[in-house]
Amino acid sequence: MGKTLFEKIWEAHVVQVVPDGPTQLYIDRLYAHEVTSPQAFDTLRDKGIKAFRPNHVVAMPDHNTPSDQQEVINDPVGRKQVETLAKNCEEFGIKHFAMGTKDNGIIHVVGPEKALSLPGMTIVCGDSHTSTHGAVGALAMGIGTSEVAEVLASQCILQGKPKSMRINIEGELQKGVTAKDIALYIMAQMTTSGATGYVVEYAGSTIRNLSMEGRLTLSNLSIEMGSRAGIIAPDETTFNYLKGREYAPKGADWDKAVAYWKTLKTDDDAVFDKEVSYRAEDIKPRITYGTNPGAGIAIDETVPTFDGLSEAEKTQLKAQLDYMQFEPGQKLEGTPVDYCFLGACTNGRIEDFRAFASVVKGKKKSANVVAWLVPGSWLVRQQIIDEGIDKILEEAGFELRLPSCSSCLAMNPDKVPAGKLSISTSNRNFVGRQGPGARTVLASPLVVAASAITGVITDPRKI
């Protein structure tokens, strides 16, 4: 029997299997940021242990980084976390991309764009959206703080082997439909727990036709279905994206690497534990109405009603709608928005800014909207400037901010005030995610751009 892509990478990294227990898995790359790493470094310090292979670890602050200026972090907790990360990296000999430097950015944007994330790797980070790196054909998983300490100390981790799932999407996407809409559609079909316990491989003609930025967006949101990781087989799109980047193999090493990467695909006779298929033509631009990423609808649909729901389902839907201040059966298109956010490790890449600019070019931002446009890295910001996108944004009334996780989560100054409605390209719309009492609608860069111009939730296909 053939093997899946996941099985090939997993088996290549097994150190040993504990009888009736987990697998000791070798880790090629550990990413660390300022929020989940301090206790892990303290564990090593308390035990008198050095980092086993520090050259396999890369760290950078992103969650607490301000997007308006980066001279100082005013919040004492955030400032201490960022300063502690720098001190820990210096003490343990770990590569550190400091705030404000050209190498800095959101860790899940910087890793792929610098080719620190490569096909066939095992990658971990103390952050759930580590699944992003699966887009290059890596097995990438979020881990807990104690597990970060495990990897720092041994370059290995103890893991139970997940099950495998393949999600096939065939066909051509409609105009105005993006990878973000694909992810929101899948979550609505499968729910936010539909892939729990699985590593999901995305396959089919629709996936093969996605750009690397689109694949990174889709893989980023894998965790929102409950999956352990999302992965896409590397192909010419992957190789073209990685070639020539800072940490990519060079010369003969590149040729050797690509030869190996071409073997990283699921065998024709491999069997998955579960397979699901969808049609691209069924997917429209999407928005969320509730307080989890799976609570979503096509932008021209209405909020679900209580009809046919169990009492438990009615209670859950009512709680979500009460918080969001929406009504059953309400059409959300045309609803006024207060904040628009473009960015995050989901949609903070150059393609996302190109898409946003394509909608707002020659138009003006609504005076009623506060807009935060935040690149995912300093490299992305420079690309925006080099391509003249910053001028398009400026002429339309938008400000290009500095790289940061920004309004994805309420850990830096970019917080949405209580009661205000934000339409956001980020990955989570949980209660209070963008600020205490803030209400969040998740959408693609195209939908956010259209809404920023009109001041209401807007289908980008209409403008």
pLDDT in tens, the chain (463 residues): 899 999 999 999 999 999 999 999 999 999 999 999 999 999 999 999 999 999 999 999 999 999 999 999 999 999 999 999 999 999 999 999 999 999 999 999 999 999 999 999 999 999 999 999 999 999 999 999 999 999 999 999 999 999 999 999 999 999 999 999 999 999 999 999 999 999 999 999 999 999 999 999 999 999 999 999 999 999 999 999 999 999 999 999 999 999 999 999 999 999 999 999 999 999 999 999 999 999 999 999 999 999 999 999 999 999 999 999 999 999 999 999 999 999 999 999 999 999 999 999 999 999 999 999 999 999 999 999 999 999 999 999 999 999 999 999 999 999 999 999 999 999 999 999 999 999 999 999 999 999 999 999 999 999 9
Strands (E), 247-337: 274-279, 286-288, 296-298
Question: In DSSP terms, which residues pair with 377 in a beta bridge?
Answer: 105
Other Cβ atoms within 10 Å of 272 Cβ, number: 20
What's the rounded Cα separation, in Å, for the pair 234 and 261?
A: 7
Q: Which of 231, 239, 232 is nearest to 260 (CA)?
A: 239
Instruction: Give yes or no for a contact between 33 and 107, defined as CB atoms under 8 angstroms apart.
Output: yes
Could you give the count of Cα atoms lying within 13 Å of 187 in the half-sphere of its Cβ?
A: 31
Instruction: Give yes or no for a contact between 423 and 340, defined as CB atoms under 8 angstroms apart.
Output: yes
What's the rounded Cα separation, in Å, for the pair 34 and 42?
A: 13
Token pair recorded at residue 68 = 């308006």
What's the rounded Cα separation, in Å, for the pair 226 and 193?
A: 5
Determine whether domain 286-462 maps to CATH 3.30.499.10.
Answer: yes
Direct distance between the N- and C-terminal alpha carbons of the chain, in angstroms, rounded to an integer: 51
- The pLDDT value recorded for residue 1 is 87
Token pair recorded at residue 274 = 């579960």
Q: Which of 340, 329, 275 is nearest to 307 (CA)?
A: 329
Q: Which of 263, 196, 276, 273 is nearest to 5 (CA)?
A: 263
What's the rounded Cα separation, in Å, for the pair 341 and 360?
A: 14
Q: What angle do CA 377, 379, 382 make, to 5 degrees?
A: 115
- The pLDDT value recorded for residue 387 is 98
Question: Residue 47: is it exposed, middle or buried by C-beta count within 10 angstroms (0-12/13-18/19+)?
Answer: exposed
Please check whether the two domains, 1-284 and 286-462, share a CATH topology: yes
- The pLDDT value recorded for residue 55 is 98
Token pair recorded at residue 333 = 């298109």
b vs e for 54-79, b when ≥16 Cβ sit within 10 Å of the residue's Cβ? bebbbbbbbbbbbbeebeebeeeebe
Token pair recorded at residue 265 = 């695909």
C-alpha distance from residue 144 to each of 40, 63, 149 (Å):
9, 16, 9
Token pair recorded at residue 167 = 């999600």
SS3 content of the chain, % helix, strand, coil (to 5): 40, 15, 45
Q: What is the pTM of this model?
A: 0.98
Q: CA torsion 118→120→126→128, rounded to 10°?
A: 100
For the chain, give the longest Cα–Cα distance: 64
Q: Which of 14, 91, 84 is nearest to 51 (CA)?
A: 91
Instruction: Give yes or no for a contact between 168 and 278, defined as CB atoms under 8 angstroms apart.
Output: yes
Token pair recorded at residue 416 = 């949405």
- The pLDDT value recorded for residue 361 is 98
Q: What angle do CA 148, 151, 155 make, to 5 degrees?
A: 165
Other Cβ atoms within 10 Å of 10 Cβ, number: 20
- What DSSP assignment string belongs to 353-394? HHHHHHHHTTS---TT-EEEE--SBHHHHHHHHHTTHHHHHH
Q: What angle do CA 8, 223, 31 make, to 5 degrees?
A: 70
What's the rounded Cα separation, in Å, for the pair 452 and 368?
A: 9
- The pLDDT value recorded for residue 175 is 96
What's the rounded Cα separation, in Å, for the pair 366 and 254?
A: 48
What's the rounded Cα separation, in Å, for the pair 96 and 60?
A: 6
Domain ranges of the chain: 1-284, 286-462
Question: In DSSP terms, which residues pair with 80 in a beta bridge?
Answer: none
DSSP label at 133?
A: G
DSSP label at 456?
A: B
What's the rounded Cα separation, in Å, for the pair 71 and 75?
A: 13
Q: Which CATH class is domain 1-284?
A: alpha beta
Beta carbons within 8 Å of 244's beta carbon, 6+ residues apart:
none
